[in-house]
Every structure is written in structure tokens, then in C-alpha cells.
Amino acid sequence: MLTKEQAADVFDRIENLSSSDEVEVLFSGGKFALTRFANNTIHQNVAEENAVVSVRTVFGGRTARAVTNKFDDESLRQVVNSSESLAKVQHPDLDLLPMPDAREAGESPVPTRSVASRYFEKTAAITPELRAEGVRKIVGVADQHKLTTAGVFSSGESFEGIFNSRGLSRWHTQTSAEVSITMLAADSSGWQKANSPDVASLDPLRLAETAAQKAVESASPREIPAGKCTVILEPAAVLDIVGFMFWDYSGMAILDQRSFLTGRIGTRLFGENITIMDDVTHPRQSGSPFDGEGMTRKTIPLVESGIIKRVVYARATAERMKKSEYGNKVGPIEPTGHGFTLPNEMGEMPLNIVFAPTGNPQTIEQMIASTERGILVTRLWYIREVEPFEKVLTGMTRDGTFLVENGRLQGGVRNFRFNESLIQMLSNVEAMSIPVRSCGEESFDMVVPAMKVKEFNFTEVTKF
């Protein structure tokens, strides 16, 4: 993998090639491998290695970006030329700020905990043979239960870096490992997924056993009518649905009037038991501690006891917000270290979501035991926004949907379509588990609890 020292050398070459007022260079890439299985067989097995250099130049308030994955002298000359040619024909952007220096990028009025290393040698050293061995064990569980399994076991190491002509240089390396397992029976299925920078914290066999148990126990699903009912959403289901609102926790989204929080900051929108932070330093979080301009990601309280407290800001967005009609209506305004790489039209968003634990956490088993009638949902699927201001989302349940009656699981039911307002959902949370690192397919990884939600709005039933 590219090292910080090698990247610094490339940056020096680029800086010498550029005639721009300012130059910023992003580096990203790494090694990634994924072993994919289906029908109890490894059917796809891939590996890649890449490194990308992304050059932004500035001429008198005009900026643009060019990207290449070639590092020879001629390619670097071309990528600088492309960036400069694009930048020179832009209209000056009055909101564009000088690039941050190291001091600005790191300074924080609120002390920020440092991010522990997210690079684990054992994860980086995973071989195709080790992944195949892991898959063999998963297939063994499927065979034992007379099921068919499909899934992935992936591993990789990555780097992310930023250098600019005002002396900023930041670098982050990380490893990652992920296991996702679906177990299929004749008319039912079960699913589990987990990931971590540290492969030692993954337990593929336990995930396989849980997925298999769900497939077996949801066999011969009954059709029960759609309607509003109590649901118990496992953490992956919570993550996938709540993830659709975090694009809106952005100063730019407020300025653009495309956020459901427009005019709602400072108001109680959710139940008092909902508190949400963005915290890259959380031990169960992952990712780099700096944003697309190299600014340190600060820990930001987004929701406190159901009240919308703050949104996040890139540097330029914060300046615009201070001068806008919303300037005195949105709480503290400061660069929070959540900006995307420039130039962009979306501004920023929080990417390290952490739900605060409730004072009285309940296990999923306790939630089931306290439910007279409801539905246990393992996973949600194909979630899309139906209405942007009340945040009505639609989607399906999938891979393990159970009827709960009289405090016990009563077997599988056919999958439902929901049309649910996130505002309503987060106002109707009756119980939560201890938040855990979770991953799904519709949203980014978060630290979220399982939730018991009343009056969740199922509108249709499908045929399986």
C-alpha cells in the first residue's frame, strides 16, 4: 500500500507542477478481497489493489478537481493540467475559502478524543485460504441444518490522505473485515451480518448459527394482514431505516431547503428517549478522523432527548449559514469536520452515528417477552423515501420476519411492505437495547440499538 511518505513525495511533485494559487491532493486506495458463496459453494472470489490521486487547484476563487490512478510523471502532469484547465473556466465562487492550514484543521474549541488505531495486522494478513476456511465452516452449519447458504467474507486494508499547499498533511490507514450470511430453506430464510476493523471481533460461526436458526424457525410462514402494529426491529433494521435521515443533518441541506429539519432545529421531533451523536472517536466506530478538506471531525450532539440540537457543517457552509436567514435559528454554527471533498453540491453530513444508551436497556428477548402481539423484524430491504419532509419511507421486511404473541415467537410470517414516517417511528419507541456496532445494506455502519416501536405502519403483504 501507498505510505504517507510516498504520498508526500507525490504531493511535492504535484505542487511543483502546478501554477495554481493553491493545490490540494487527496489519496485513497488499498487492497481489498472478497470471497462470495452461494448454493454452499464459493462462486466468486476477487481481489484488487488500487491507489487514486485526486488534485484540486484554485485560481482566484475558481476551483475544480481531476483524478487519476496513474502515478508516473506524465500522468501527474496531465492530472494537474486537467484540474487547472477545468478550474480556470469556472466562475469565481464567492463562498470558496482559502484551504485550511494544519492549525485550523486540528483546532477544536471542544476537546476531541483521539481515534484509536483502526489498523490490525491480523486483518491485513487474511489470505484467500483463510477466507475459504471461514466459508467452509459456514457451509458446514448450513449442511448441518439442511439449508442452503449464500454470503460473503471480505477483508482489506485502505488508506486515505490529504495534503495541501498551506502545509496540511493528514493520513489514515484502516483494516476491515466483514461476514454476511443468508441461510435459505424451502420457504424461509435468515440473515446475519457483521464487520469490524479487527477480524478477531467477528464470529462467523455464531452468525451462521443465528441465521440458520432464523431460517428454520420462520419456515412455513403465515400470511397475516398488514396494518399498524408493534414491531421489534433488530439493530440492522434500525440502522437501515434511520440512515435515510442523516443526509438532512447538514447545514447545506438546511440552506437548500431540502432537509426535513428546515425550521425544526430546537424543536422536539422524536421521543424523549432518543439521543444521537456523531462521534468518529467512538470505540465501535470506524473511518478517518478528518473530512474532505482535512478538518478534524468533531463530536457533535445531533439529537438530545428527542430535541433536534445541531446539524454539521463544512467550513464554507458554516460561513454561509452565519449570514443566512437561518443564522440565529440553528444553534451553534462552526465547521464541524464533516465536509465532503470540494467542489461538491451536498456540503456535508454526519457519518459516524452513535445512538446513546437508554437508562433502561432491554434485550430483544425481553422486548419479545413484553409484547402481546407484534412482529420481529431481522432486516429491512429496498428502502426509499416517499415523502421528504415527514420522512415517509417505504421498504420491505426480509430474511426472518416473525409473529410475536403473548410474549413468545410464534413462527414466521410473510414479508410486509411498510410506509412509515421516521418522525413517527422515533416518537413511538417503547424500548431499546444497548447500542451495538451494526451494518446493513441500505445505510452506512452505525452504533444503534434494537428498538421496540408501537404503531409501525405496514401497508401490504407480499407472497413469501
Partner 1 sequence: MKHVANWALNAAASRGVTYADVRVIAHRSRSLTTKNGKVGSASDAESVGMNVRVLADGAWGFAASAELGRGAVEATAARAVDIAKASARVKREDVRLAPEKPAVAEWRTPYKIDPFTISVEQNIELLLRIDAELRSVAGITLAEANLNFSREEQWFASSEGADIHQAKLSTGAGYAAYAFAGNEIQKRSYPNSFGGQWQNKGYELIEELKLVENARRIAEEAVALHKADQCPEGKFDIILDSSQLGLQIHESVGHPIELDRVLGMEANFAGTSFLTLDKLRTLRYGSDLVNVVADARQAHGPGLGTFGFDDEGVAAQCMPIIKNGLFTGYLSSRETAHTIGETRSGGTMRAEGWNRLPMIRMTNVSLLPGEKPLSLEQLIAATDHGILMQTNRSWSIDDKRYNFQFGCEIGWEVKGGMRVRIVKNPSYSGITTEFWNSLDAVCSRDEWTLWGTPNCGKGQPQQVMGTGHGAAPARFRGIKVGSAFKGN
Specify the residue, 91 or 359, whose C-beta has the smaller distance to partner 1.
Answer: 91
Residue of 37, 249, 313, 326 that binds partner 1 (CB under 8 A): 37
Compare residues 189 and 288 and give the one whose CB is closer to partner 1.
189
- Contact with partner 1 (CB under 8 A) among 102, 216, 307, 386: 386
148 near partner 1, rule: CB under 8 A: yes
Contact flag: residue 48 with partner 1 (CB under 8 A): yes
Distance CA 218, CA 311 (A): 41
Which of 99-107, 146-154, 167-175, 281-289 is the region at the interface with partner 1 (rule: CB under 8 A)? 146-154
Of 191, 246, 270, 290, the one binding partner 1 (CB under 8 A) is 191
390 is a site residue for partner 1 (CB under 8 A)? yes
Cβ distance to partner 1 smaller for residue 128 or 287: 128
Is residue 258 near partner 1 by the rule CB under 8 A? Answer: yes
Taking a C-beta distance cutoff of 8 angstroms, is the pair 152, 179 a contact?
Answer: yes
Number of residues that bind partner 1 (CB under 8 A): 98
CB 152 within 8 A of CB 195: no
Which residue in 256, 283, 327, 363 binds partner 1 (CB under 8 A)? 256
Kindly state the cell numbers that stand for 102. 494544519
Nearest to residue 3, comparing CAs of 191, 169, 231?
169
Cell of 139: 457451509
**Euclidean distance between the first and the last CA atom of the chain, given in angstroms as a whole number:** 46
- The H or E element that residue 412 is part of is strand 408-412
Tell me, residue by residue from 101 to 140, as one string, x for binding to partner 1 by CB under 8 A and - for no binding.
--------------------------xxx-xxx-xx--x-
Alpha-carbon distance 429 to 233, whole Å? 10
Options 2-10, 15-23, 199-207, 254-262: segment touching partner 1 (CB under 8 A): 254-262
Q: Is 67 in the site for partner 1 (CB under 8 A)?
A: yes
| Minimum distance from residue 393 beta carbon to partner 1 (Å) | 9
Closest listed residue to residue 195, CA positions, set 212, 171, 179: 179
Least distance to partner 1 from the beta carbon of 148, Å?
7
400 sits in the region (left: phi over 0; alpha: psi -120 to 50; else beta) called left
323 sits near partner 1 (criterion: CB under 8 A) = no
Question: Which amino acid makes up residue 241?
Answer: I
In sequence order, what are the residues at sequence separation of 6 or more whose Cβ sits closer than 8 angstroms to the Cβ of residue 256?
none
**205 interacts with partner 1 by CB under 8 A:** no
Q: Which is nearer to partner 1, 327 or 388 (CB)?
A: 388
Does 320 bind partner 1 (CB under 8 A)? Our answer is no
d(CA 29, CA 156): 10
- Closest approach, Cβ 84 to partner 1, in A, equals 11
Choose which of 8, 52, 97, 216 interacts with partner 1 (CB under 8 A).
Answer: 52
Alpha helical stretches, state H, 28-110: 73-88, 102-106
Candidates 3-11, 91-99, 158-166, 284-292 — which segment interacts with partner 1 by CB under 8 A? Answer: 91-99
- Give 47 or 110: the residue with its C-beta nearer to partner 1: 47
Among candidate residues 133, 107, 127, the one with its CA nearest the CA of residue 296: 107
Residue 250 or 275 having the CB closest to partner 1: 250
Which 294-313 positions form the footprint of partner 1 (CB under 8 A)? none
The reply on whether position 398 binds partner 1 by CB under 8 A is yes
Residues 339-358 that bind partner 1 (CB under 8 A): 343-345
All three cell numbers of 66:
481531476
When asked if residue 39 is in the footprint of partner 1 (CB under 8 A), the reply is yes
Q: Quote the CA–CA distance of 145 and 149 in Å, as a whole number.
A: 10
Interface segment toward partner 1; rule CB under 8 A; list 104-112, 257-265, 281-289, 368-376? 257-265
Contact 348/335 with Cβ under 8 angstroms? no
- DSSP states of 220-283: SPBP----EEEEEE-HHHHHHHHGGGGGGSBHHHHHTT-STTTTTTTSB-S-TT--EEE-TTST
- Burial (CB < 10 A; 0-12, 13-18, 19+), residue 250, is buried
Chosen residue from 97, 396, 409, 436 binding partner 1 by CB under 8 A: 396
Site residues for partner 1, 362-381, by CB under 8 A, read 381
20 binds partner 1 (CB under 8 A): no
